[in-house]
Amino acid sequence: MNTISIIGAGIGGLTLGNILKQHQYDFTIYESAPEIKPVGAGIMMAVNAMQVFDQLGLKEKIEKAGNKIHRIVIANESLQTISKTEILELETKYNSCNVAIHRAELQKILAENLFPDSIKLNHSLQKIEKKENYILDFENGNQIESKIVFGADGIKSPIRNQILKTGTIRNSGQKCWRGLLDFDLPEKHHQEAFEMWGKGKRFGFVKISDKKVYWYACVNEKSFGRYIEIAEIFNDFDPLVLQIIDATPDENIICNTISDLSPIPKWYSENLCLIGDAAHATTPNMGQGACQAIEDAYIIGKLLEKDKDFNTVFEAFQSIRRKKVDYIVNTSRTIGKVSQWERGNSIRNFLMGMIPESINQKMAKKVIELEL
């Protein structure tokens, strides 16, 4: 029998594994994929996540594998700045900076820091039942009994669906292409995350290593559903955008619908707890989806330092984390709508440009400050 099982070896599950290892707990992570491979190409680890990695002794390794980002810029289709958030001051305060990195690199660093037998691949959870302990049935025919279960199994979480029987996935009405390529970005963009807002669409890019650039293109499906070519949709944007799209091999582009999870009443049951997207999936507009899963793992670790009773920890965990994740889910959803307005864009851009830097800094601080 396992004492602790973590379902899902995404960034949240792997971070939780690293936290439990640091606290000398025995655990096993079960991952449905036959190998840990990247989904979504690039990712930004914000200052809150990097503070957690610092405490795990992984900060420098992640910084080395990725690219440090010191500012976030929102611009119009012609690359004219609408708003800019400099985060150097916050970096100094928290001794960490934003790092853009390939998902596969990050997962590899997190997985390699665990004991090799901690992760069982090719274990897709089919059924979970609560008896005296939890009985986990996997598609490969294996059955495991486990006392404590963590569901780090994503927005479509089988654990949430079968045990807590709750959760509505909300379609944002937007779809997003994500791409990865070797590209020489103009030097002024090397240390920034850059996003352009157009009519019903936006395009963003960030350098994630010496040569690699990650980009994303989001559109309102009702307006652009008939278009097949991304370049056709973004032909009114600065030529740099079309250069990036045209230089990306087709096999390096993926497309997904953007969704989130409507807030669920409870993230835990007896001896079981959801973390990350399984509990509070958010749209990607604040770059906080994986970062909030990392924060979840961090808070669980901090609570276990004070109390060894997992059920007490799970209750305290939700009570500490609820307000912040609800704020992020709601704010991210709003940003997604505003950034893809189809009318009144010049007024929106003007008003966005009027927001003082201090307000942007205050919002960034609220997001990146750890709660314990």
Q: How many domains does the chain have?
A: 1
Q: Domain for residue 193, yes or no?
A: no
DSSP code string of 248-263: S-GGGEEEEEEEEEPP
Residue type, 28: T
Cα separation, 332 vs 277, whole angstroms: 14
What pLDDT, on a 0 to 100 scale, did the predictor assign at position 261? Answer: 98
Residues sharing a CB contact under 8 Å with residue 60, sequence separation 6 or more, in sequence order? none
- Asked whether residue 352 is domain-assigned, the answer is yes
Q: Please indicate, yes or no, if residue 231 is contained in any of the structural domains.
A: no
d(CA 332, CA 285) in angstroms, rounded, equals: 5
If you count them, how many residues does the chain have? 372
Tokens 């049935």: give the residue.
137
Outline where 95-214 has alpha helix (H).
103-112, 158-159
The residues with which 130 forms a beta bridge, in sequence order, are 134
Which candidate, 113, 22, 17, 107, places its Cα nearest to that of 66? 107
- Full pLDDT tens readout for the chain, 372 residues: 789 999 999 999 999 999 999 999 999 999 999 987 766 689 999 999 999 999 999 999 999 999 999 999 999 999 999 999 999 999 999 999 999 999 999 999 999 999 999 999 999 999 999 999 999 999 999 999 999 999 999 999 999 999 999 999 999 999 999 999 999 999 999 999 999 999 999 999 999 999 999 999 999 999 997 777 899 999 999 999 999 999 999 999 999 999 999 999 999 999 999 999 999 999 999 999 999 999 999 999 999 999 999 999 999 999 999 999 999 999 999 999 999 999 999 999 999 999 998 888 888 999 999 998
Residue ranges making up the domain that contains 277: 2-170+260-368
CA atoms within 13 A on the CB side of 194: 25
Helices (H), the chain: 11-22, 47-55, 59-65, 88-94, 103-112, 158-159, 221-224, 230-233, 239-246, 277-280, 289-306, 310-339, 345-354, 357-368
Rounded Cα distance between 42 and 289, Å, is 13
Residue 245 in any domain: the answer is: no
Phi, psi at 160, each rounded to 5°: -60, -45
With residues binned 3-state (H G I as helix, E B as strand, rest as coil), the percentages for the chain, rounded to 5, are: 40, 30, 30
d(CA 317, CA 302): 10
| Nearest Cα residue to 65 out of 184, 212, 186 | 212
Residue 69: inside a domain, yes or no? yes
Does residue 333 belong to any structural domain of this protein?
yes
Token couple for 286: 């604040």
H helix count then E strand count, the chain: 14, 18
170: which strand partners?
Answer: 260
In a domain, 240, yes or no: no
Q: Which of 162, 43, 54 is nearest to 106 (CA)?
A: 43
Q: What is the pLDDT of residue 38?
A: 62
What is d(CA 367, CA 325) in angstroms, rounded to the nearest whole number?
A: 9
Q: How far is CA 88 from CA 71, 73, 93, 97, 365, in A?
A: 8, 14, 9, 8, 12
Token duo for residue 12:
């949240």
- 191 inside domain: no
Domain harbouring 59, CATH code: 3.50.50.60
Please give the pLDDT value at position 92. 95
Helices (H), 84-147: 88-94, 103-112
